[in-house]
Structure 1
Amino acid sequence: MPPDLYDTLQAGLADGSIVPYLGPGVLADVTQVDSAVRIPADSDSLILAMNDGRPMAPKLMYEFPRAAMNIELKRGRSAVTRFLTRTYGETAWTRGAVHEWLKALAPRYVVDINRDTQLQDSYAHTPHNLIVGIARMAGTAFRYKLYRWDGSAYHPTEALDLALPILFKPMGTPQPEASYIASDADYVDYITELMGGFAIPPQLKALRAGKRYLLMGLRLNRDTERMVMADIVYNAGTPTGWILLPDANAKERRFCQKLGLQIIDSDIFTFIAGTQTARPALAQVHPC
């Protein structure tokens, strides 16, 4: 990694010109408080947790939305919602190192495609905006809900307060009310409206113009996550940003090149250790 890249990324994250984009890998060190069980965050672990530890059919194991759709068809959408709320809203988890790092850094805008509450907990000490993705909701043309945290509780709001930090949880959260993008049907609806401009608040569309992104804990092998990400970072600066992606495969490299993402051959935990101490010499940057 070039010696000045850590400084560039740190400065950009601090001043808001670079936006953290959090994937499942940022939760890799999180476990249940009373056991060593890891929090289910990536596709495979979510499927296994949802199916009581048992693998599902190979075609369903391909991706969590596909497995969630199968459960929804058999037991109803509420079964998936109950599972996610029990997992992320009713189970006590240890704090993750990435979220402790973000709490200290306090970025003004963060995108988190996980469904847990650790990011919200990191900002619980300060008022902030929360954007939660929704899908298949009647009575509204939009695919988001807005809330404002006043230091003690969330309250619905009609507009963002741009003086406050913005937390964007496109795939949902159990707080302040359980709402998730989970099954194939959810994603079809959400991505359609995301592409049409109805899943991003107008104020955020203006705010995000020209910003660059640092993708953390995210693999780019699955079309669903790639489509969501590409639309959320739309109208980014040049280059679009960077991704911490060790051992990127050919498919990931092609996608990064198309989107203007520079690959950093390092995982998120090595990166944050480097920002807190010395720069690790093993990290390398690839221009795709």
Structure 2
Amino acid sequence: MTDLPMTEMLEKTVVSGTEAVAVLADVRRALLADQLVPYLGPLLLAIESEPPVPTAPEEVAAALHAKAPAPGRIRTNMWSVAQFIESRRHRKTLQAFMAEIFARPVQPTRLHRFLAGLKLGMMIDSWYDGALASALRDAGRTDFVEIQGVTRAGEFRDIWTKVYGPDGREVLPETAENATTVLYAPHGGVNPVGNFLVADSDYVEVLTEIDIQSPIPAVVKDRRSARGFLFVGCRFHDQMLRTYARQIMKRSSGPHYALIDAETLTKNERKFLEQQGIQAIDLPLGQAVEALID
């Protein structure tokens, strides 16, 4: 255990300038060698054009609030606003609202298309838009599956996820074992059928079991074991976001990196990066992505 004070330990999790450029070159080599799992967040969607969907939980909360006004104390919290709608209006109403909010197709960025061509063992999409799955289909990939987290509302089975083939049809879970690429969307996605984990109630059982890893698919546990993680376009300013990232990368081999603007980091985010051994590469997201691609 290091004897460095906490402030100094946190500073060492961030590299910038020429050091960041050098680390990014190592990240690119590791990515090309299938040694890193890309973990994509919603901020990535805005690096090339104005996205037609929300790119933050707070924006989803605002969109839901516009459809069904929520109390002031919760209206900026996506999970609480969604729970309010589900409780007052019905689960089907919440599902319909989310489908409307994410109805407009999102064009994959150059990074999405670059990753789709690498045939990586695993990729994570932590948002609902489905751009990464679209990039895989656009690339003509027929050797991938998408595993989506699903709500247990209305389910009478012990089920956490569903698996979909390249054509969007549901397939048997064991199909994932033989796929070249596993795309894991832990919070669900608008396509192909509109699976959304978004309300507090969706996460009650998940968070109860996630420490023992029950909600994490076996193939994800297997494929992460020899890889590190690369977080792109992600924020960790909410406990829910930190919990999911921590549990998905649990027992992975590392190293771990995040492309992130250090000036925007909250105290909790810095602490999370340090605790999880994630090195933050402090470069403008667009610049960092271009370096990864080129």
TM norm structure 2: 0.82
CA distance in 2 between counterparts of 1:6 and 1:37 reads: 26
**Of 109, 129, 134, which residue of structure 2 is paired with 1:96?**
109
CA distance in 1 between counterparts of 2:37 and 2:278 reads: 13
Moved more, 211-220 or 6-15: 6-15
**What SS is found at the alignment partner of 1:46?**
helix
- After TM superposition, give the deviation of residue 55 of structure 1 in Å: 7.6
Judged with a 3 Å threshold, the aligned counterparts in structure 2 of structure 1 residues 44 and 97 are, in CA distance, closer, same or farther, namely: farther
**What SS is found at the alignment partner of 2:269?**
helix
**What SS is found at the alignment partner of 1:218?**
coil
- After TM superposition, give the deviation of residue 57 of structure 1 in Å: 4.0
**Of 34, 37, 45, which residue of structure 2 is paired with 1:27?**
45
Higher relative contact order by CA 8 Å / sep ≥ 6: 1 or 2?
2
**What SS is found at the alignment partner of 2:289?**
helix
What is aligned with 1:286?
A: none
Question: Structure 1, unaligned stretches of length 5 or more?
Answer: 278-288
Judged with a 3 Å threshold, the aligned counterparts in structure 2 of structure 1 residues 92 and 73 are, in CA distance, closer, same or farther, namely: same
CA distance in 2 between counterparts of 1:108 and 1:270 reads: 25
CA distance in 2 between counterparts of 1:174 and 1:54 reads: 20
**Of 6, 12, 24, which residue of structure 2 is paired with 1:6?**
24
What is aligned with 2:258?
A: 243
% same residue: 22
* Contact residue 187 and residue 196 of structure 2 kept, 8 A: yes
What is aligned with 2:9?
A: none
Deviations 1:206-256 (A, max 9, x none): 2211321111111111001111111011002244x0111211232211111
**Of 106, 117, 131, which residue of structure 2 is paired with 1:118?**
131
Deviations 1:245-288 (A, max 9, x none): 211232211111111111111243221122345xxxxxxxxxxx
* Contact residue 39 and residue 125 of structure 2 kept, 8 A: yes
* Contact residue 260 and residue 281 of structure 2 kept, 8 A: yes
Question: RMSD value over aligned CA atoms?
Answer: 2.3
* Contact residue 29 and residue 97 of structure 1 kept, 8 A: no
* Contact residue 24 and residue 42 of structure 1 kept, 8 A: yes
- After TM superposition, give the deviation of residue 163 of structure 1 in Å: 4.2
> Amino acid of the residue matched to residue 68 of structure 1?
A
Report matched runs for 1:17-96 at 5 Å: 17-29=35-47, 38-52=52-66, 56-88=70-102, 90-96=103-109
Higher helix proportion: 2
What is aligned with 1:142?
A: 159
> Amino acid of the residue matched to residue 242 of structure 1?
Y
* Contact residue 150 and residue 196 of structure 2 kept, 8 A: yes
Moved more, 44-53 or 159-168: 44-53
* Contact residue 150 and residue 197 of structure 2 kept, 8 A: yes
What is aligned with 2:14?
A: none
Judged with a 3 Å threshold, the aligned counterparts in structure 2 of structure 1 residues 201 and 251 are, in CA distance, closer, same or farther, namely: closer
Judged with a 3 Å threshold, the aligned counterparts in structure 2 of structure 1 residues 271 and 132 are, in CA distance, closer, same or farther, namely: same
- Work out the number of aligned pairs and report it: 269
CA distance in 2 between counterparts of 1:4 and 1:37 reads: 30
What is aligned with 1:210?
A: 226
Question: Structure 2, unaligned stretches of length 5 or more?
Answer: 1-17
- After TM superposition, give the deviation of residue 187 of structure 1 in Å: 1.7
**What SS is found at the alignment partner of 2:173?**
coil
